[in-house]
Structure 1
């Protein structure tokens, strides 16, 4: 019953037909999968800050329009945010565990399009932001995309949606147990499509925390 159903359909592989999904609920094998925590909140599939969190905030407003659901909802919000909010991309710094020598200094603020932590490969109704993510490996996957000029960002959007962005110079991937993000200014954050606000976020993996039939 979600707007995108990424955790159910793309992470767990549940069918989109309700009657088929119900069969899994009754007859599926219980399996343990990871979850995440950001500050005092919990998420099953995704946490992020930056452009995509602003897109999630915009999607909440667009839900009021009839038939605005799923990919139509998120794509419409994405286009609107790119056109009218892209130049407000935030200045962020982050540190992660386990440490990665390719990660920037934890004290260095840089401008980012987004920092997206996911348990599964997709969010936002099919955007393959972390295409190699595995919800049962005891780790969360982080994708960082540094700020790029607006014209280039428009060209990158379909590449990111298909999960073909690993080669881009603005993009880095990490597998993490813990992540701390700080922002120069308070900003939107989203967890599984729900929006809240903050300036400092501590994100940790909760290995095998959910028992799910699928």
Structure 2
């Protein structure tokens, strides 16, 4: 029999996730469903909890449900990535929730719970993940996307900002990324990038950023990579380069609908193994979480993690719209 464990981040969306969990817990109790629950106490704790539970399962089937934002899920994925007996689920309780958008998870937490519990309309699907390696460091996995450059700097500023909490309380959390985008636009220093994709090198002068995507969405709903598919064994790249600050703003105003790919300064590429070098070290992120700096190597891990989702066909159809 599969055990079910919920890992809840009480700090997600400035504490709103506590209310989310109360709704979920009430349903679990009313339905008399057996489960265990743990609360995270610090950054990185969700990953440690997931790894600990996976080890304790000793190969027995285990379902770990992350309750929080994309950062919480990122930690759980990294904790569970090396354990094939672990299935991952997600109940959105954060401000960005890009995983929900890209993988067809209902926004409502109770609906998300029933999607997890229901076996007829939803299923366990093995999804791709990306793996990032630094020189001399362990692997970091991502399920949504990773990036290096301008977007990573924005993510770092957003995560450290007190304004994020204020906007979350006003239900305006999705605008915090746009706010810092405009602020950092005038201070960020572009770099030259050399990107090697499956052994073929490409160079970009004055690059703002490169994003490597497993699914279309990032940054709280931006459709950065419209064609990204988490089931195809391929990672999709978006490189923005040789573009003025003013025109970059136009690019970002079009990114929510995925129209930015029409700009000549936006390169759209894909591959399985990507090596990223820059003229000077630039910050990187994985699923919006700080990762260090370039250089780094990114590769796809096909069908790596079983995740409770809508059927693959439904997710593909939804992302094509």
TM-score clears 0.5: yes
- Counterpart of 1:72 (choices 171, 175, 186) is 175
Gaps of 5+ in 2: 1-67, 70-94, 134-138, 310-321
Matched, 1:91 2:185: no
Residue 167 of structure 1: how far off its partner (Å): 1.9
Q: Larger C-alpha radius of gyration, 1 or 2?
A: 2
Distance 2:287 2:144 in 1: 6
| Alignment deviations for residues 172-192 of structure 1 (CA, whole Å, 9 cap, x no partner) | 111210100001222210100
TM-score calculated relative to the size of structure 1: 0.89
- Counterpart of 1:11 (choices 102, 108, 117) is 102
Output aligned runs, 1:1-214, within 5 Å: 1-2=68-69, 3-7=95-99, 9-27=100-118, 28-39=122-133, 40-63=139-162, 65-69=164-168, 70-82=173-185, 84-86=186-188, 88-97=189-198, 99=200, 105-106=201-202, 108=203, 110-214=205-309
Q: Which has the higher contact order (CA 8 A, sep 6+)?
A: 1
TM-score calculated relative to the size of structure 2: 0.61
Q: Extract structure 1 runs of 4+ deviating beyond 6 A.
A: none
Instruction: Count matched residues.
Output: 205
User: What CA RMSD, in Å, does the superposition of the two structures yield over aligned residues?
Assistant: 1.7
Q: Secondary structure of 1:66's match?
A: helix
Q: Answer with 135-144 or 59-68: which moved more.
A: 59-68
Contact 2:284 2:294 in 1 (8 A): no
| Alignment deviations for residues 100-142 of structure 1 (CA, whole Å, 9 cap, x no partner) | xxxxx44x46221110001101100111110111111111111
Gaps of 5+ in 1: 100-104
Measured at CA, do residues 79 and 109 of structure 1 come closer, stay the same or move farther in structure 2, by a change above 3 Å? closer
Contact 1:97 1:176 in 2 (8 A): yes
Q: Answer with 59-68 or 147-156: which moved more.
A: 59-68
Q: Relative to total residues, which structure has the larger helix share, 1 or 2?
A: 2
Contact 1:98 1:177 in 2 (8 A): no
Residue 64 of structure 1: how far off its partner (Å): 5.8
